[in-house]
Structure 1
Amino acid sequence: MEYLSSKKSVGVWNSISNTKKSLGNLGIEIHDLFGINIKSGNNALFWYDHWIGDNSLKSKYPNLFELESQKRCRVADRVGSRNHKWKWKVRPATRGLESEVNDLNRDVSNVQLKSGMDQWRCNLSSDGIFSVATVRQLVDKLHTVCSVAPAITWNKFIPIKVICLMWRAAQLRIPTATALERRGIAVSSTLCCSCIGSPECADHVLINCPFAHKIRSYIWSWCGLTNVQDSIKTISDLIQFASNWGENIKKRQRFIVICYGMLCNLWRFRNKRLFQMEGISVHRGLECIKVMTFYWIKHRGDKKICSWEDWAISSFYDL
């Protein structure tokens, strides 16, 4: 892999090489993810691969690596039954590297080659089997944007694209003005296009903006909730609150639908104001949320939902 990444390649190998570079930018060395169990030594590179110890011999003995005449030699080319078969450009002794040669000989002295193919293993899993999911988990562990991200509820009434939007919003990854500016993208203004009084971040647009605050107040009243407004300051707070609300499972599932629909519509309202110059009143915004969530529930599995007239009065009219 290290050898290939230094060469110009196309197709699959180019993608693999780019993956190595991308993981390197995240502080993850792809060589550290894999090891190899040596048998015949014909399938492992002596200097490049991690076949003995935690690092490659190239990294451990860089001076000797420079003196190696065949840098892509295999383990079987250098490890013998009695004497190791070195091929140096110049004798290491002339460079004062006798001690390093002794250390290298000591490292490989206990290696016994035998018949069979060398076997690669993934160091991330206990069974040694590689999967993209294990690498994804490592990346998320090392580079989590939100240190305490809430669990996103997968609800059959909520479209997948909305669930994905909620996940991104909880991770503060939706393209607000401040997020775009952090990525080096020029924006005309970082202020909220609704209140023009605070920087436009994800939590402000969907939670703390006066417009969002008023919408949420009406939604709580519609759902029969009181004394919860001031306890919610972030998107994560709202998602966690919805996931734990109430003791009736059916009511909780419906309340999650309403909360996700509210956040989805608040993001849509923001985009209409910003890109279409279309203002949305609180009353109209409330109606849009009621209509969207009603059709989600009615047409995505629950045919027995109450009539629109009853739904407009109370979200739990039939429960």
Structure 2
Amino acid sequence: MEYLSSLKYVGVWNNISSTKKSLGKLGIEIHDLFGINIQSGNNTLFWYDHWIGGNSLKSKYPNLFELESQKRCMVVDRVGGMNHNWKWKVRPATRGLDSEVDDLNRDVSNVQLNFGMDQWRCKLSSDGIFSVAIVRQLVDKLHTVCPVAPVITWSKLVPIKVISLVWRAAQLRIPTATTLERRGISVSSTLCCSCIGCPECADHVLINCPFAHMIRSYIWSWCGITNVHDSIKTISDLIHFASNWGGNIKKRQRFIVICYGMLWNLWRFRNKRLFHAEGISVYRDLESIKVMTFYWIKHRGDRGICSWEDWATSPFYDL
């Protein structure tokens, strides 16, 4: 494996060989994920593979490796007999490497070759079978990006760009003023462009800003929901609430569409105020949310939907 990762490939094989480097950046050594059960020694590289001990023999005995005449030899080519089958370019004794040869002989002295193919086993699974999912679980365990990020509902009724924004917003990774400033990008002001009273972070723009709070209150009233808005303080709170709201699955799915549409439009309204100097109009912006979510469900759903007049009265009129 070490030998293969040292070669230069193009295309798909380049991506595969670069896996070692990518995992190394995360503190995961790919060699530590596998073990080799030596049988015949016919398909295990003697110097490159991590088949004995924690490292390759190439790393443990670099001086002897330089003297090796066939660096890509297999285990079966070198292990066997009392003195083993060494093939040096020059005798190690001439370089003062007798002690290293003795250590190498001791390392491989207990290796017994048998019939059959050498077997690679994944140390992460009980059955020794490798899967990408197991490595993904290890990466998530060691490097959780956002441990409190909620589960995003992927609905075909919602455009993918909207779901992507909601997912990024839940991880506080949308380009608000405070986020840009932390990244070293110069901004004219880090204050919210709507209320001019608080730093502009993701939770403030979409949840805690008085404008967002007012829009949400009207949406809740339109949906017939009361005594909830004060308990929602973060984007994660809103997503979690929408994903668990009510006992009717069809109503819940439609409510999720409305909440995602609300977050999308709040971000759009913020951008219009910031970059186009548009004024705030709660009624206009509320109507934009109603119209957009109505057309999402009407044109992206499999079943029909109530008339616009009924929708404007209640989004659950036909359910």
Q: Does the alignment reach a TM-score above 0.5?
A: yes
The one-letter code sitting in structure 1 at the alignment partner of 2:62 is F
TM-score normalised by the chain length of structure 1: 0.82
* Bigger Cα displacement from structure 2, 295-304 vs 216-225: 295-304
| 2:46 partner SS | coil
User: Structure 1: how far apart are the matches of 2:19 and 2:156?
Assistant: 35
How far off its partner does 1:240 sit?
0.8
Q: Does 1:66 align with 2:63?
A: yes
TM-score normalised by the chain length of structure 2: 0.82
Per the alignment, residue 25 of structure 1 pairs with: 25
Which ranges of structure 1 fall in alignment gaps of 5 or more residues? none
* Bigger Cα displacement from structure 2, 47-56 vs 243-252: 47-56
CA-based RMSD of the aligned residues comes to 3.1
* Structure 1 pair 67–317 and aligned structure 2 pair: CA distance change class (3 A): same
1:44·1:75 contact (CA, 8 Å) conserved in 2? yes
| 2:120 partner SS | strand
| 1:120 partner SS | strand
User: Structure 1: how far apart are the matches of 2:78 and 2:234?
Assistant: 60
Which ranges of structure 2 fall in alignment gaps of 5 or more residues? none
Per the alignment, residue 298 of structure 2 pairs with: 298
How far off its partner does 1:239 sit?
0.9
The one-letter code sitting in structure 2 at the alignment partner of 1:143 is H
| 1:250 partner SS | helix
User: Structure 1: how far apart are the matches of 2:178 and 2:6?
Assistant: 37
How far off its partner does 1:285 sit?
1.6
1:45·1:75 contact (CA, 8 Å) conserved in 2? yes
How far off its partner does 1:186 sit?
4.7
User: Structure 1: how far apart are the matches of 2:302 and 2:62?
Assistant: 68
1:237-293, CA deviations, whole angstroms, 9 ceiling, x for partnerless residues? Answer: 111111111222222222111111111222222333334444452222211111121
Per the alignment, residue 194 of structure 1 pairs with: 194
* Structure 1 pair 309–8 and aligned structure 2 pair: CA distance change class (3 A): same
| 1:155 partner SS | coil
Aligned residues: 314
2:3·2:49 contact (CA, 8 Å) conserved in 1? no
1:38-72, CA deviations, whole angstroms, 9 ceiling, x for partnerless residues? Answer: 2332332233322234544455x3xx333332355
* Structure 1 pair 110–184 and aligned structure 2 pair: CA distance change class (3 A): farther
| 1:306 partner SS | coil
How far off its partner does 1:106 sit?
4.7
Aligned pairs for 1:159-178 (under 5 A) are 159-178=159-178
The one-letter code sitting in structure 1 at the alignment partner of 2:240 is Q
* Structure 1 pair 120–314 and aligned structure 2 pair: CA distance change class (3 A): same
* Structure 1 pair 11–159 and aligned structure 2 pair: CA distance change class (3 A): closer
* Bigger Cα displacement from structure 2, 233-242 vs 298-307: 298-307
User: Structure 2: how far apart are the matches of 1:247 and 1:234?
Assistant: 23
| 1:149 partner SS | coil
Per the alignment, residue 312 of structure 1 pairs with: 312
The one-letter code sitting in structure 1 at the alignment partner of 2:216 is R
* Structure 1 pair 43–180 and aligned structure 2 pair: CA distance change class (3 A): farther
Q: Does 1:254 align with 2:251?
A: no
User: Structure 1: how far apart are the matches of 2:265 and 2:94?
Assistant: 71
Per the alignment, residue 233 of structure 1 pairs with: 233
User: Structure 1: how far apart are the matches of 2:276 and 2:19?
Assistant: 39
How far off its partner does 1:187 sit?
4.4
User: Structure 1: how far apart are the matches of 2:228 and 2:58?
Assistant: 61
